[in-house]
Structure 1
Amino acid sequence: MTLPDYEIEKAALAQGYLRIAGVDEVGRGPLAGPVVAAAVILNPEDIPVGLNDSKKLTAKRRLALDTAVRQRAKIAVAEASVAEIDEHNILRASHLAMERAVAALDPTPDFLLIDGNMVPRGLTIPARAVVKGDAHSVSIAAASIIAKNWRDQLMVDLAQQHPGYGWETNAGYPSKQHKEALQNLGVTPHHRRSFKPVHNILYQE
C-alpha cells in the first residue's frame, strides 16, 4: 500500500511558502448531521508515521493518529450545519466548512492543499486542489483523520439524543438500520431535508 507523502508540500516550500495547510471535509454522504472540515499545518520535522486516508484506517488507528496530529501540528475544525446544507447544497456547505476551518487556523497558513477538484471560492490564500488528496498528501490525510474523528464523535453524541437510527455506528450514512428508522421513527431536526430519502418521507403522497 502506497502511503501519502510530503512531496506536494515540499514543492510549495520550494516556492517560498512557509505554512502549508492540508484541508479536507467529512460527511458529504450522510442523511443526518453537519459536514465537518479540518485544516492542519504539519511540522515538517515531526510528521506522525502512518498518516493515510481516514477511510483506509481502523477506528483504533485513526484515534491514535488523531492524538499524534493534535500533539505535533496546528489544527482547526469547523462545521456547516444541516440548515446550511439544505439552504445551499452539500458541495457549497462542504466549502463553507473548509473556509471556516482555514479561517480558524492559527497561525494563518500561506498556502493551502485542498482535497478534491475545486478550491472553495471564499478562500483568499493561495491554494491548490488535489484530487484524492488524502491518498497523496500527508497534510490532507491528517486533516481527513481529524475531521472524521470529530464528526464520528459528534454523531455518537447525537445518537444518545435520538436512539434507534444507529448513528453511533453508521455516523448518519444511509445504512439499512438508518433508512428503516427513518420510516418507523420519522425525521429528526438533524436530518438533511434536501436529501432524497429524507425528502421523500416528509413529502409522501
Structure 2
Amino acid sequence: MKFDFFHDLNNDIIGVDEVGKGSWSGPVVACSVLLDKKILNTEIFCKINDSKKLNKNQRIHFSKVIKTNSVYGFGVISSEIIDEVGIQKATELAMKISLKKFSNVNNKIRIDGKKFFSLKKEHEFLIKGDQKSVSIASASILAKDYRDKIMELLSKRFLGYDWEHNSGYGTPKHIAGLKKLGVCSEHRKSYKPIKKLLNG
C-alpha cells in the first residue's frame, strides 16, 4: 500500500512514536502529536520526512516549530518500571500516557511499529511509520528531543557514562564507563548487557 506522507494533516490524525527502547539506561519516552495545518507554511515542512537524518541542532529547531504548530503530549516510563514490566509493556504505558492529552477527542490515531496493544479509539499501527506519516514523524522528533534532554540531566547526576552524547545506548564510552564505575540506579537491570555485568 502506498502512503501519502501528509495525509494526516487533512484528516486530523494523531501520530504516536517512542524513543529509548534499545537504550541501556534511563526512561522510555513516547509522544503523541496532532498537527495544525499551519505547519504547511513553515520552512521545516519539506524536510520533516527525513527525521532520522536530522542532527541534534536541526532536531531542536524542528521540535520548537512542531510544538508551536501542534497539540502534543508525552509519556515517560522509568528504567525501574521497565525492569518490572518489560520494555514492551513499558512502551505501551508510555504511549497511553502520552495519549491522555487527547482523551476528550475521537481523532484517528496512528502508531509507529507492529501492533502490540489495542485502544478503544480508532487506530492503526504502521511499520516504519515515521517514513509514512507526518504526524508520527513529528512525534518521533519531539520524543527524541525530550528524551535527549532527560538523559543530559541524568548525565550530570551520574558522571562517567557519556549519556549527554550517547543517550544511554551501548556506545564504547558508555561501556568503558560501566567497566570503570559499574552499574548505577538508572541502568536497566533486565537488559542482557547490564545483567551480564551484574552477574560478573
Aligned with 2:123 (options 116, 124, 127): 127
- Counterpart of 2:100 in structure 1 is 103
Aligned with 1:67 (options 64, 68, 91): 64
Count matched residues.
193
Q: Aligned partners of 1:107 and 1:40: how far apart in 2?
A: 14
**Shift >4 Å, 4+ stretches:** none
- Counterpart of 1:156 in structure 2 is 152
Instruction: Output aligned runs, 1:25-64, within 5 Å.
Output: 25-47=18-40, 48=42, 49=45, 50-64=47-61
Instruction: Output aligned runs, 1:3-42, within 5 Å.
Output: 5-7=5-7, 10=10, 13=11, 19-42=12-35
Q: Secondary structure at the match of 1:52?
A: helix
What is the deviation of 1:44?
Answer: 2.9
Aligned with 1:169 (options 165, 174, 177): 165
Normalising to structure 1: TM-score of the pair?
Answer: 0.88
Q: In percent, how many aligned pairs have the same letter?
A: 36
What is the deviation of 1:5?
Answer: 2.1
Q: Deviations over 1:20-77 (max 9, x none)?
A: 2000000011100000000000113434412135322111111111000110100111
Q: Aligned partners of 1:167 and 1:150: how far apart in 2?
A: 14
- Counterpart of 2:109 in structure 1 is 112
Normalising to structure 2: TM-score of the pair?
Answer: 0.90
- Does the 8 A contact of 1:96 with 1:120 survive in 2? no
* Aligned AA (2:109): L
- Does the 8 A contact of 2:8 with 2:135 survive in 1? no
Unaligned 5+ residue runs, structure 2?
Answer: none
- Counterpart of 1:190 in structure 2 is 186
> 1:76 aligned to 2:73?
yes
Q: Aligned partners of 1:144 and 1:72: how far apart in 2?
A: 15
- Does the 8 A contact of 1:53 with 1:144 survive in 2? no
* Aligned AA (2:78): S
> How much is the aligned-residue C-alpha RMSD, in angstroms?
1.7
Aligned with 2:176 (options 150, 175, 180): 180
